[in-house]
Structure 1
Amino acid sequence: MEYLMGFMRKRPGIASEITRHSLMRPVISVVLSVALSACAVAPGMRMSAPATLPGGSGASNGPASEAQVPITDIDINLIQQIRDTDTHANEDAVRQLFARAEPYTLGVSDVLQVTVWDHPELAAALGAQPQTSSRPYDPGQGFVIDTAGNIQLPYAGSVHVAGLRIDEAQRAIHAALSTMYVKPQVTVRVASYRAKQVYVDGELRMPGAIPINDSPMTLYEAITRAGGFSSSADQSRMVVVRNGVSYPLSLPHMLERGQNPANVLLRDGDLLRVASRDDYGVFVMGEVNKPVTAIPMKTGKLTLSEAMSQAGSLNNATADAAQLYVIRGVAGNTPQVYHLDAHSPVAMVLANQFELHPKDVVYVDGNGLVRFSRVLNLLLPAINAGLTAAILTK
């Protein structure tokens, strides 16, 4: 001790350094305490299941519990339950659109071509021959059914044909011409179908109005005559609007259940709309290689594994595979959160079967080391500032 005191008397600078470090020690202790305590509140979105009451309920009393959302682990039973719910919802809408095709009945604005053999003088009543450059929606050559449902025949006068089948209209016209001609040979055909039509909209190659003709206007017929689906069409999200009521349809689901889409019969005035896949994306964020809005397949399906694949999979350096979450129903009143521990190989099987819904949020949390590193990055400026202030003070 005497030797040390003598050494300090000979070197007075050493004493001041020791004193200064002794004064800085409390500052360093306080900064480290704050850093370590901040590890428990590291920034991020880590989720935890709500506390369970003794009675088995997953919620507790108080304002804090009202904001909690239950977290459900993804397993085979959950996947089957969600799949059954989605299937039954579509079956009810499909059944209401099933109908048998009936013969076409004439209506207002239809154009009839009436041919009376051996009487060429009646051909002039059909009108001039159409031009080769005529537009598709121009009426054909013939007799137009007026708003009263009649056509005007030379010599025979007015004949009511609206609401009749083609064979019935032919008999009615034959009876009218028989008053003027002896045993006339009459042929009647529809030159232009304009009385009834359906409307197609959305992701089809040729959207617009499609006239209903003598071929039944089934779901397949409407899609085919509209040029088929476009490249961005979502075949699982089609809607038929009839009399102000919307009926959702899913073509892949119908085929899976053995239901023939040709049994879906469209009626006059129906609207068929095919949605775009871009409108039903899933948001993938967190510790993934490429945060992205995952787009469903053409069939409308998008599993959890497919969404992760579009996001470039997990970030091996920062992701915690045990903390993979699917947040559903954020905009509704009953949000749900599903959790998957992706450490196990079995989890990949579950992820490949768990189908996502539009606007779902897939979130991957970071691991503990990354969270701690981010806390230190936030605190280092404060630590440096504290040390600098202590040195300048002394």
Structure 2
Amino acid sequence: MIKSLAVPPKFKLKLAALALASLGLAGCGGTLSGAGPYKGDIETKNESYNLVEINANTIGPYMRGAVRPVQASIAKPVAPSARLMAGDILNVLITDNAPEGSALFAPLSSGGTQLKTRIDDQGMISLPYVGRQFVAGMTLNQVEEMIRKQLKGVTTDVQTHVELVGDLSGSVLVAGAVKSPGRFSTLQGPLTLLDAVNQAGGPVMEPHLVNVTVRTGSQVQQFNYEDVLAGNNMVLRPNSEVVLDRARQRFVAMGAVGEPGLKDLPAQNTSLLDALGSVGGLREANANPEGVFVFRMGEGTNPKPTVLRLDMRDPAAVFYARQIMIKPDDTIYVTNAAIYEWQKVISPVVQTMLLGRATGAYK
């Protein structure tokens, strides 16, 4: 506690002038340092936004929706008909049951003739007695039929079997915010969206902060990864691309809170109470619990911004804060208490007096 100081008369006028000047600066608003507008300014200067006092009668439009139930359905992988493309590697088995000595290829009893070929950049393969043939876009069954037709008349009893052993056409690319991005084969069976992400090591962020984009060449689909985990899984078409990136699920905390700044929403369905808790709550030393505001830009047919005000002195406000939904790009602003603002005005005056006494200015 500061003791009263004996100030000589000749300095009283100067100190009074200094005090009045400090109070005048405070009255100007904006001269004293602060994180934002004063509570009274927000409540009166509302021509450009709608100010909503949150209570039992007004909270309805701003409440969180019900949590979506987890789906019981599962994705059932069904092997699609892979269409070949440049870069695929084929294992071709040709058997020839012509009389011994006239067969061009080994008979089935000895394992047949095994040939391996890669589809070149022009979509072509090259095989003995078959020549160069365009196969890009074909299925494996169509390639088998093409080989049999090309060998008809060359040998009498030919059988073929074509197997895809190195695939680009049947693979899935996973990129973005995963631990091990890469291209993953579907040779062992079809991949669901969860299969592909898990093979890539999983996302590097919490599920609700991850958006998933699936491109198939003909359509684009987007999901939140938390929704995928809740049952919105799907079977991926061959040659699909899966990209995971950060969802814009952020809000700004300003003013008298524990940890102001740009923050990630702690959950997909975040309440005001959750958001305040994630930034350390109200700073008890200087926060004004009657001045908790949420600034929200206009949406849809209502382009006018909205400011929600909550009086945390009201015990019911804790329940209101639990129900109010915080949306991405919202700003939470907690004003300073009036006594704290007054202390910012008085502090320079007191410091000046203490400094003058310490240096002997009042002797």
Gaps of 5+ in 1: 1-19, 53-57, 60-67, 88-99, 127-141
Aligned position for 1:287: 256
* SS of match in other structure, 2:158: coil
Question: Which amino acid counterpart does residue 228 of structure 1 have in structure 2?
Answer: G
Aligned position for 1:366: 336
Aligned partner (choices 197, 203, 211) of residue 223 of structure 1? 197
Change (3 A) 1:170 1:368: same
More off after superposition, 366-375 vs 193-202? 193-202
Note the C-alpha offset of 1:105. Answer: 1.4
Aligned position for 1:12: none
Change (3 A) 1:290 1:107: closer
Aligned position for 1:314: 282
Q: Distance in 2 between matches of 1:312 and 1:379?
A: 32
1:379 aligns with 2:310: no
Higher helix share: 1
Residues 174, 184 of structure 1: 8 Å contact kept: yes
Aligned position for 2:293: 325
Runs of 4+ in 1 over 6 A off after TM superposition: 121-125, 242-246, 384-389
Note the C-alpha offset of 1:262. Answer: 0.6
Q: Distance in 2 between matches of 1:210 and 1:338?
A: 48
Question: Which amino acid counterpart does residue 290 of structure 2 have in structure 1?
Answer: A
Note the C-alpha offset of 1:349. Answer: 3.1
Change (3 A) 1:124 1:241: closer
Aligned length: 323
Change (3 A) 1:340 1:50: closer
Residues 43, 371 of structure 1: 8 Å contact kept: no
More off after superposition, 113-122 vs 157-166? 113-122
Change (3 A) 1:150 1:329: same
1:79 aligns with 2:83: no
Change (3 A) 1:239 1:288: same
TM-score by length of 1: 0.64
Change (3 A) 1:29 1:379: closer
Aligned position for 2:73: none
Q: Distance in 2 between matches of 1:339 and 1:349?
A: 14
Question: Which amino acid counterpart does residue 110 of structure 1 have in structure 2?
Answer: D
1:3-45 CA-partner distances (Å, limit 9, x unpaired): xxxxxxxxxxxxxxxxx64x66655555555555666546543
Q: Percent of counterpart pairs with the same letter?
A: 22
1:261 aligns with 2:233: yes
* SS of match in other structure, 2:173: strand
Q: Distance in 1 between matches of 2:218 and 2:143?
A: 33
1:179 aligns with 2:153: yes
Aligned partner (choices 317, 324, 336) of residue 347 of structure 1? 317
Aligned position for 1:150: 124
Note the C-alpha offset of 1:207. Answer: 0.8
Alignment of 1:1-394 (within 5 A): 21=9, 30-31=17-18, 33-34=20-21, 40=27, 41=29, 44=34, 45=36, 46-47=38-39, 48-49=41-42, 51=44, 59=47, 68-73=48-53, 76-80=59-63, 102-117=80-95, 119-120=105-106, 126=115, 142-195=116-169, 198-210=172-184, 215-216=189-190, 218-231=192-205, 234-240=208-214, 248-253=222-227, 260-262=232-234, 265=236, 268=239, 271-276=241-246, 280-291=249-260, 293-297=262-266, 300=268, 302-328=270-296, 337-358=307-328, 360-382=330-352
Question: Which amino acid counterpart does residue 286 of structure 1 have in structure 2?
Answer: G
RMSD: 4.4
* SS of match in other structure, 2:348: helix
Gaps of 5+ in 2: 1-7, 69-77, 97-104
Note the C-alpha offset of 1:321. Answer: 1.4
Question: Which amino acid counterpart does residue 374 of structure 1 have in structure 2?
Answer: K
Residues 124, 133 of structure 2: 8 Å contact kept: yes
Aligned position for 2:102: none
Q: Distance in 1 between matches of 2:136 and 2:33?
A: 73
Change (3 A) 1:250 1:366: same
Residues 31, 383 of structure 1: 8 Å contact kept: no
Question: Which amino acid counterpart does residue 208 of structure 1 have in structure 2?
Answer: G
Q: Distance in 2 between matches of 1:71 and 1:311?
A: 24
Note the C-alpha offset of 1:312. Answer: 2.4
Residues 156, 179 of structure 1: 8 Å contact kept: no
TM-score by length of 2: 0.68
Residues 328, 337 of structure 1: 8 Å contact kept: yes
Residues 95, 158 of structure 2: 8 Å contact kept: yes
Aligned position for 1:135: none
